[in-house]
Amino acid sequence: MALSGELFIGLKRRATDLSFHAIDPASGRALAPAFSAAGTAEVEAACALASSAFETYRAMAHERRAEFLECIAKHILEQGEPLLQRAHEETALPLARLTGERARTVGQLRLFAAELRARDWLGLRADPALPLREPAARPDLRQRKIPVGAVAVFGASNFPLAFSVAGGDSAAALAAGCPIVVKGHPAHPGTGEWVAGAIVAAALETGMPEGVFSLLNGPDTALGTALIADPRIHAAAFTGSRSGGLALMKVAAARPEPIPVFAEMSSVNPVILLPGALATRAAGLAREFIASLTLGVGQFCTNPGLILAIEHEGLGQFIEGARAAIAAVTPAVMLTPGIHRSYLHALERLGAGAQLLARGADADGQNCGRAALYSVAAQSLLENPRLAEEAFGPAALIVRCAGLEEVLAIVRRLEGQLTATLQMAGPDLPLARSLLPALERKAGRLIVNGWPTGVEVCHAMVHGGPFPATSDGRSTSVGTLAIERFLRPVCYQGFPEELLPGELRDAELARSPHRLDGRQRAGGAS
Ligand code: NAP
C-alpha cells in the first residue's frame, strides 16, 4: 500500500492544502510523500464525529470492543515489513527494535481485549437495600464505571508503534469505550498512516461506528492546543517533553469545563548502589548500567540517568568499569534533529556543574547521540538540583555519597520519578529498608537488582509516578490499570431492576467479579 499523506477524519481519508514532510534523521532529507496538516476545520470535524460515535460505541457489548482491538492487531501484523521499514526510515530505530515494538503493540491490544472479557475493570459494587435499618433505612446502591467520552491521544516520538497511533494510550481508551482522536507525532507520519489504515480496516470489519477513530497530523503546536481545547474532548493522554505536557495541561485547565491530561513527561530514574552490591559485583553492575543507559540511544523514559552510590572501595571499580564500557559504545542516530539538539543542551548543563568521566566513541553522522558519563559529589547536587533534571539520551550522572544520610537527603530533594532502583546484596537489607519509605514517595515503580529499561506490559505494572514523571501519580500509562484513566464511577440509587444497566442487574452481577456489601465476590455463579 502506497502512502497517500492524508488524514483520517473518522473512517475517511482527507487531504488539506497545508503540508509537511517527515525527515529522515540519519540524512536530514525530507521523505516522500507530503503529509496533509490538519487545521481547525479538521479538528472540528474529527471531534464532532468522535462525540457522535460515543453513545453507540460505549453501548456496544464488551465482546465487540474486544474483537475490534484484536482485529486492529491482526491488521497491523498483516502490514508486514513495509510498516517496519517506514518506521525505520522515519525514526532511525533499528528494524530488530521495531519488530519487538510491533510485538508489544499487538500484545497490548490483545491484553486489553482480554481485560475487557475479565470485567474487573467495571468496578461493580452493590450495597443492597436495608429497609428495616434503624435509625434510617438504606436504599439499594449499585456502582459501575463508565467511559468518560472522546479522548485525545498524543503519539510519542520514542515509541512510533507502542505509544503512538495504536499504542498503549489508544488501546486503553478504546477498551474503556472512548472514541479517540489521535494527534500523530510529526516525526513519523508515514508510520502513523500505516497504523491508522489498520485501525480503519478493523473498524469496518467489526462494524464500529463512524468517528470511533480519527488521525490528525501537523507539525505545529496549534493543532494539539486546538484539539485539547475542543469541548467534545473529555480527557487526553500524552508522552513527551515536560514543556509540551505542561502547555497542554494549562490549556485543559483553562477550558470552561477543565479535563484531565494524563501526561508522562520526565524522569531520571535514580539507581542506588548499596555497599554490599558494590562489594560483590561492581564490574557486572557497571556493564549492566551502561547497557541499560545506552539502549535505544538512551531514548527511553525509564533510562537510568542518575546513580547514587555510597562511598565504598567497590565504587572505584564500578566507575572504571562504566568508563570502559561507555567508551566502547558506538553512537547512533537519535529520533529527531530536535531531540538531538535538546540532548546537546542537556550535556552542556551537566558539563557546567559536574565532572566529565567518559564519552562514548566519536560520531561521524548527523544527529548522533554520543554517550556521556559525569560524576559529582552529593553536596554539589544538593546545591545545584538542576543537575538531576532529565537529559533525554545516553547520558548519566554518578553521585558520590558519604553515607545513607546523603543518599536520603538527595532522594528527598528529587522530583517525582517513574522508577527507583536498589542494587543490593543480603547485608544491605537494613539500608534498603530505611530507604523504602522515601523511595515510595518519589516513584511509581521500585526495582531491586534489575534495571529500569524494559517495561513489562501486564496487570501489576505501574508506569507513572509523582510530577513531573507524570501529571497524575495516581495512574499508569502501561498495563491494564491504564484503562482507569478513561473511566469514572457512577452510582445508581434506588433503581428498579429493569432500569439498571445490564451488568448491575442481579443475575449479571452474580456472573461478574464484584463487591457485595463490601465483600469481594469472584463472580461466575449462574
Ligand atoms: P514534544 O515536543 O513534547 O512533542 C510531543 C507531542 O506534543 C507532539 O505531537 C507535539 O506537537 C505536541 N506538543 C509539544 N508541545 C506542545 C505545545 N506547547 N502545545 C501543543 N502541543 C504540543 O516531545 P518530542 O517531540 O517527543 O521530544 C522532545 C523532547 O521531549 C525530548 O528531547 C525529550 O526531552 C522529551 N521526551 C521525553 C520522553 C519521556 O518519556 N520522558 C519521551 C519523548 C520525548 P508538535 O511537534 O506538532 O508541536
266 lines ligand 1 (CB under 6 A): yes
Q: Which of 421, 418, 420, 391 is nearest to 477 (CA)?
A: 418
Q: Quick one: three-class SS letters along 334-356?
A: CCCHHHHHHHHHHHHHHHHHCEE
480-525 pLDDT, tens per residue?
999 999 999 999 999 999 999 999 999 999 999 999 999 999 988 5
Measured distance CA(307)–CA(422) in Å, rounded: 10
CA 301 to centroid of ligand 1, rounded, Å:
12
| CA–CA distances in Å: residue 426 to residues 283, 310, 350 | 18, 16, 34
Q: Which of 75, 96, 71, 111 is nearest to 456 (CA)?
A: 111
What is the residue with the minimal CA distance to atom 29 of ligand 1?
A: 241
What is the residue with the minimal CA distance to atom 43 of ligand 1?
A: 240
With a CB cutoff of 8 Å and minimum separation 6, the contacts of 352 are none
pLDDT score of 10: 98
Q: Cα dihedral angle (278, 307, 238, 241), rounded to 10 degrees?
A: -160
Centroid of chain to Cα 63: 26
Residue whose C-alpha cell is 525505520: 88
Dig out the grid coordinates for 261 from the structure. Answer: 491530561
236 lines ligand 1 (CB under 6 A): no
Catalytic (active site) residue 71: no
CA 441 to centroid of ligand 1, rounded, Å:
26
411 lines ligand 1 (CB under 6 A): no
Dig out the grid coordinates for 113 from the structure. Answer: 481485549
Report the helix count and the strand count for the chain, using DSSP H and E.
15, 23
Least-confidence region, from 174-183, 291-300, 356-365, 481-490: 356-365
192 lines ligand 1 (CB under 6 A): no
What is the residue with the minimal CA distance to atom 7 of ligand 1?
A: 244
pLDDT score of 411: 98
pLDDT score of 363: 77
222 lines ligand 1 (CB under 6 A): no
Q: Which of 268, 275, 56, 281 is nearest to 178 (CA)?
A: 56
Selecting among 193, 264, 406, 415, the annotated active-site residue is 264
| CA–CA distances in Å: residue 295 to residues 155, 306, 452 | 21, 15, 11
- Provide the sign of the torsion angle of the four alpha carbons 268, 273, 277, 280, taken in this order: positive
CA 241 to centroid of ligand 1, rounded, Å:
4
Measured distance CA(218)–CA(223) in Å, rounded: 7
Measured distance CA(379)–CA(402) in Å, rounded: 10
Measured distance CA(18)–CA(362) in Å, rounded: 39
Of 153, 157, 164, best ligand 1 pocket probe by most atoms within 8 Å of the beta carbon: 157
User: Is the pLDDT reported for residue 312 higher than 60?
Assistant: yes
H or E segment and range at residue 491: strand 487-493
Atom of ligand 1 nearest to the CA of 247: 18
User: Is the pLDDT reported for residue 364 higher than 90?
Assistant: no
CB of 299 closer than 8 Å to CB of 339: yes
Measured distance CA(524)–CA(96) in Å, rounded: 43
Burial 391-426 (b: 16+ CB within 10 A, else e): bbbbbbbbbbbeebebbbebbeebbbbbbbbbbbbe
User: Is the pLDDT reported for residue 178 higher than 60?
Assistant: yes
Measured distance CA(494)–CA(502) in Å, rounded: 15
Catalytic (active site) residue 301: yes
Complete domains list, the chain, with CATH? 7-19+34-265+475-484 (3.40.605.10), 271-448 (3.40.309.10)
Measured distance CA(101)–CA(261) in Å, rounded: 25
CA 244 to centroid of ligand 1, rounded, Å:
5
Cis peptide before 256 (omega within 30 of 0): no
Selecting among 47, 301, 368, 401, the annotated active-site residue is 301
CA 339 to centroid of ligand 1, rounded, Å:
9
483 lines ligand 1 (CB under 6 A): no
User: Residue 262's beta-bridge partner residues?
Assistant: 237
pLDDT score of 1: 75
Q: Which of 431, 441, 445, 444 is nearest to 273 (CA)?
A: 431
Of 181, 233, 241, best ligand 1 pocket probe by most atoms within 8 Å of the beta carbon: 241
CA 238 to centroid of ligand 1, rounded, Å:
9
Return the percent helix, strand and coil in the chain, to nearest 5. Answer: 45, 20, 35
CA 193 to centroid of ligand 1, rounded, Å:
19
Measured distance CA(149)–CA(232) in Å, rounded: 8
User: Residue 310's beta-bridge partner residues?
Assistant: 401
pLDDT score of 405: 96
In this structure, how many other beta carbons lie within 10 angstroms of the beta carbon of residue 118? 14
**Parallel, antiparallel, or unpaired for β 368-369 and 332-333?**
antiparallel
Q: Which amino acid is at 91?
A: T
Measured distance CA(47)–CA(44) in Å, rounded: 5
Residue whose C-alpha cell is 514523571: 469
366 lines ligand 1 (CB under 6 A): no
Dig out the grid coordinates for 282 from the structure. Answer: 561492581
Q: What's the CA angle centered on 448, arms 445 and 452, to 5 degrees?
A: 50
CA 220 to centroid of ligand 1, rounded, Å:
11
- % of the chain beyond a pLDDT of 70: 100
CA 61 to centroid of ligand 1, rounded, Å:
36
30-84 pLDDT, tens per residue?
999 999 999 999 999 999 999 999 999 999 999 999 999 999 999 999 999 999 9
339 lines ligand 1 (CB under 6 A): yes
Confidence class for position 344, pLDDT limits 50, 70, 90: very high
| DSSP per position, 418-457 | EEEEEE--GGGHHHHHHHHHHHHHHEEEEEESS-S-S---
Locate the DSSP E strands across 203-336. 213-216, 233-239, 261-264, 271-273, 306-310, 332-333
Q: Give the residue-averaged pLDDT of 426-445.
A: 97
Measured distance CA(376)–CA(400) in Å, rounded: 6
User: Residue 399's beta-bridge partner residues?
Assistant: 308, 376
Q: Give the residue-averaged pLDDT of 372-387.
A: 97
CB of 109 closer than 8 Å to CB of 171: yes
What is the residue with the minimal CA distance to atom 23 of ligand 1?
A: 240
What is the residue with the minimal CA distance to atom 19 of ligand 1?
A: 221
156-173 pLDDT, tens per residue?
999 999 999 999 999 999
pLDDT score of 525: 52
pLDDT score of 524: 84
477 lines ligand 1 (CB under 6 A): no
CB of 523 closer than 8 Å to CB of 513: yes
Is the entire prediction scored with pTM above 0.95? yes
264 lines ligand 1 (CB under 6 A): yes
486 lines ligand 1 (CB under 6 A): no
User: Residue 143's beta-bridge partner residues?
Assistant: 125, 491
Higher pLDDT: 298 or 313? It is: 298
Measured distance CA(45)–CA(11) in Å, rounded: 12
Measured distance CA(298)–CA(70) in Å, rounded: 31
User: Is the pLDDT reported for residue 526 higher than 70?
Assistant: no
Query: What length is written for the chain?
Result: 526
> Mean pLDDT of all residues in the chain?
97
Of 91, 159, 221, best ligand 1 pocket probe by most atoms within 8 Å of the beta carbon: 221
302 lines ligand 1 (CB under 6 A): no
Residue whose C-alpha cell is 528529587: 414
